[in-house]
Structure 1
Amino acid sequence: MFSKKLLMIWLVLLTLFSIVYSYQQELTTDPSEASSLAKDAYIFAYPMLENYRTMYVEAVSPGNFNTFKHVKTLFGPESKTVVRPNNDTIYSTAWLDLKTEPIVITLPEIPDRYFSLQLVDMYTHNFAYAGTRTTGSGSVKVMVACPYWEGEIPSGIDYVFYSEGNYVYCVVRMAINSEKLGDLQRVFEIQHQCSLQTLSKYTGTLSPEPIQTQNFPSFDQTIADSVGFIRYFNFLLGQLRIHPSETALIQSFSKIGVGPDKSFDEAELSEPVREAIKSALVEARQEIFHPGTAMGSITNGWSLPGRIFGNRDRMQDRYLIRAAAAHLGLYGNDLEEAYYPSCFFDSDGEILDASKYNYYISFSKEQLPPVDPKGFWSITMYDENQFMVENALNRYSIGDRSDLTYNEDGSLMLYLQNESPGQSKESNWLPAPDGKFTMTMRIYIPLQEGLDPLYCPPVVRKAGAIE
């Protein structure tokens, strides 16, 4: 009997030892292999980390899921929290927690202006849209579900969108005309009619037992920039369904400790491997922060962004582009929804500077921005710090909703300068700072002809030196 007990204990210990040994064997001891895997893993994870950082601040820490946050002000020169803001649209945002049950989003009929609902998953894919371009101007009810939900779709739901993860970022944009009296109040009224509710509340049925996410890891940028990024990565992988096309890739990362909900202790990695991973992260960030022409091209002084945001099909295998786009600015639109060329140089290739020159941009009728009648276009002025410019007209952007004066042949001249071009031309004047400046054109619902090839606005030219 005693010998049998010893044998059983020995077998248990042997089994435990084998499991531990097997787990350790999964971790590479080759610094070169670790470097390659870590670089690829970090580039893959980077947009997910940026998304989680934002979600942690806006939803996890304050406990603010499944509630619309309506922006009640229009961006202007006093707005310094975000660079290159726009004053064309007002935002309503929400973080959706889909673990327990789907969320139903209701938007009212909005026939008098452009609007869109953008849904972004944990990978930062734009996995669904509703609104003017995609579903029309009528009222719409959409249900958003996690990948594991298999319930019955109730009546009254117009569209069902499935996310690949448990959490979704929701953005509603509504056009506003800052030059139209009372338009801001009209947008507030529309916002009040937008709603979020759980599926059980929508159907009037008993709520399911809540499924809580245990221990959201506190976000620390220092950890996210180190080998410790793997802890966040593993947590996030545990909150989504890994796509079949990426299963093998994620499994390959297991050699450095990556896996859904997998505990991670960097001390289990050898010191040479840890150092190799640290160096790989530096290389990865260099590529993410300096992607070169992969993000677009420069023509006639205008930077023309390529297709750097989109759904899974569009972004499949484009991990560096996805990461660089997240660094440039999270939650950008698909090109079909909005196209944003920006101007940095004039026709001589020189930096724009309204303390030295007056400028103009001349559109022939054929060169006007290619915009769908349901959309609109604008140009916003920024100073050298990428903020809007205070001016006597309180005009920070100009576009097809402005009271512009066109020439008889349908052409258009816009004046870009610090001082007024004269009363007869002020309708077409976009005030510039007394110094360096840049501009961004925004085309909401561009025509297909403006996307292939990409539309390039006319070059900005000097009108004369400032005396």
Structure 2
Amino acid sequence: MSEEGTNELVELAAEAYVYGCPLVLDLSMVDTCVHEGFGPVAAAPFNRFSHSTRLGDAGTRFASVNNDTAYSLAQLDLSSGPLRLHVPDTGGAYYVVQFVDAWTNNFAYVGSRATGTEAGDWLIVPPGWAGTSPADVRGVIDAPTSVVTLVGRNACDGPEDLERRVRPLQERFTLTPLKGSEHGSGLPAPDAGVPAELGFFERLRVWMADFPPSAADRAHQDRFQPLGLLEEGPSPYAAAVPALVGALKEGLARGRERVEAAGVPGAGGGGKWMMNPHLFDYNLDWFGVGTIDSPEWKIADRKDAYLARAVAARVGLWGNHGYEAVYAQAFRDSDGEPLSGAHRYELRFEELPPVDAFWSLTMYDVPDSYLVGNPAGRYSIGDRTPGIVHADDGSLTIHISRERPADPAAAANWLPAPEGNFRPAFRLYMPKTPVLDGQYELPVIRRVGAAGQG
């Protein structure tokens, strides 16, 4: 193969990585959830809910896990037919069930924002289904792929609320086959004879065939034919020629570099929070119950959408559209210096975040983004925190430090920090328009002294 031909294959392989890594990351996590579990959520077979038995804490070794909601996960296999989802009445409490296809598209939402908090049933149907839905369901949710992830989040005000209210509520989220068997065919297995160095492309080849994307995406992936990604039957990677192996390996590395570079946060000049309400706008084709099908929630260029989708899968798999929840993070203070437990900080809100559900500020360490253990057992603070103190003028000041503040009012508004560098994350559930259009900005974090002083 000529040098020019090799370079073309390398570039094609890099593009294939950017295009296909969301599918591989998603279905790899689906497999993990079915067989091993996910953070505080135990393993469960397809078509069964599994619920978190505890809120995220310092023992949860999962990056950026939240401490606000109790997770309920279900991996669906619709190859045997539709499933009936029942959601209970939450009494006005916030919840969302997010529907994610195998390519990580958020294609439907059921919950407080989208459908309300009353009880009801929904029919989830596989691609191409042409049956008759029961008359008593609230609606039909068409799945783009036969494997789907349901990510349920119930607002939880702490461990006591989890046991008293949320756990009984979780058990009333149920999945029932419309008829016939509840078990589908599961995920197709990649060829075990493929070398580990080509495992990504083998998984992409097998899963791409079983879970085809939209027509527009299929037209795009046809260009990956020279890589062997469209071949059926025995794997072309079990005994690939050296030139192809080299191109795939180099292309994989190059593709990863592109995704990692695109996912690196900006400098956050002046300590500004980095917030992107449009991180999950790469879905261009599937808009079901609870989604917003309008230009401002779509990435206009499809190739740009592929890169955004890859970044989102790497840094925030199964995250929500911005109109359901917005996430922000900060690494630096108002002077541009890294946030560190060597100092004390204040975050003062003249105007509280405009949300229709709730907001929270959660502490994570750096670089792992794990929750930070502390004697107070407080991992986040927000508008639901008991005893939080507002000033007479309505403003709110959050105190961030390693040690508990001596002043009782400051201690009530204290978010514990680790000894080293840290990254707080802000979550705004059901954000209002000023958040989404940029009119509202989170205040910067100001350094007010050294740790152990004041």
TM-score (norm 1): 0.83
Report the AA paired with residue 343 of structure 1.
A
Q: CA deviation at 1:210?
A: 7.2
2:168 aligned residue = 189
Q: Which shows bigger deviation, 82-91 or 451-460?
A: 451-460
2:100 aligned residue = 120
Contact 2:358 2:428 in 1 (8 A): yes
Please state if 1:331 is matched with 2:327. no
d(CA) in 1 for partners of 2:193 and 2:88?
39
Q: CA deviation at 1:342?
A: 1.0
Q: How many residues align?
A: 424
Please state if 1:462 is matched with 2:447. yes
1:114-168 deviations in Å (ceiling 9; x for gaps): 1000011010111111100100111121221111211111111112111221100
1:413 aligned residue = 397
Q: CA deviation at 1:217?
A: 2.8
SS where residue 115 of structure 2 aligns? coil
SS where residue 443 of structure 1 aligns? strand
Of residues 362, 370, 376, the one that matches 1:380 is 362
2:68 aligned residue = 88
d(CA) in 1 for partners of 2:192 and 2:413?
47
1:217-260 deviations in Å (ceiling 9; x for gaps): 3789973xx44433222221222243121232122211221227
> 1:33-44 residue pairs with structure 2 within 5 A?
33-44=8-19
% identical equivalent positions: 32
Please state if 1:236 is matched with 2:211. no
d(CA) in 1 for partners of 2:100 and 2:68?
21
d(CA) in 1 for partners of 2:425 and 2:75?
28
SS where residue 283 of structure 1 aligns? helix
d(CA) in 2 for partners of 1:217 and 1:270?
19
Please state if 1:56 is matched with 2:27. no
Q: Cα gap change, 1:102/1:370 in structure 2, threshold over 3 Å: closer, same or farther?
A: same
Report the AA paired with residue 397 of structure 2.
M
Q: CA deviation at 1:406?
A: 1.5
d(CA) in 1 for partners of 2:378 and 2:122?
36
2:354 aligned residue = 370
Q: Which shows bigger deviation, 232-241 or 163-172?
A: 232-241
1:53-98 deviations in Å (ceiling 9; x for gaps): 112222268881101111111112222x202222100011011000
2:254 aligned residue = 283
Of residues 149, 154, 169, the one that matches 1:169 is 149
Q: Cα gap change, 1:228/1:418 in structure 2, threshold over 3 Å: closer, same or farther?
A: closer
d(CA) in 2 for partners of 1:292 and 1:86?
20
2:416 aligned residue = 431
Q: Cα gap change, 1:209/1:173 in structure 2, threshold over 3 Å: closer, same or farther?
A: closer
The structure whose Rg is larger is 1
Q: CA deviation at 1:358?
A: 1.4
Gap regions ≥5 residues in structure 2: 37-42, 285-297
Gap regions ≥5 residues in structure 1: 1-28, 201-206
1:348 aligned residue = 335
SS where residue 141 of structure 1 aligns? strand
1:29-55 deviations in Å (ceiling 9; x for gaps): 932332232221121110111112112
Q: Which shows bigger deviation, 30-39 or 99-108?
A: 30-39
Q: CA deviation at 1:430?
A: 1.5
Q: CA RMSD in A?
A: 2.7
d(CA) in 2 for partners of 1:249 and 1:89?
38
Report the AA paired with residue 216 of structure 1.
A
d(CA) in 1 for partners of 2:76 and 2:234?
26
d(CA) in 1 for partners of 2:363 and 2:241?
52
Q: Cα gap change, 1:390/1:242 in structure 2, threshold over 3 Å: closer, same or farther?
A: closer
SS where residue 238 of structure 1 aligns? helix
d(CA) in 1 for partners of 2:187 and 2:421?
50
Q: Cα gap change, 1:183/1:59 in structure 2, threshold over 3 Å: closer, same or farther?
A: closer
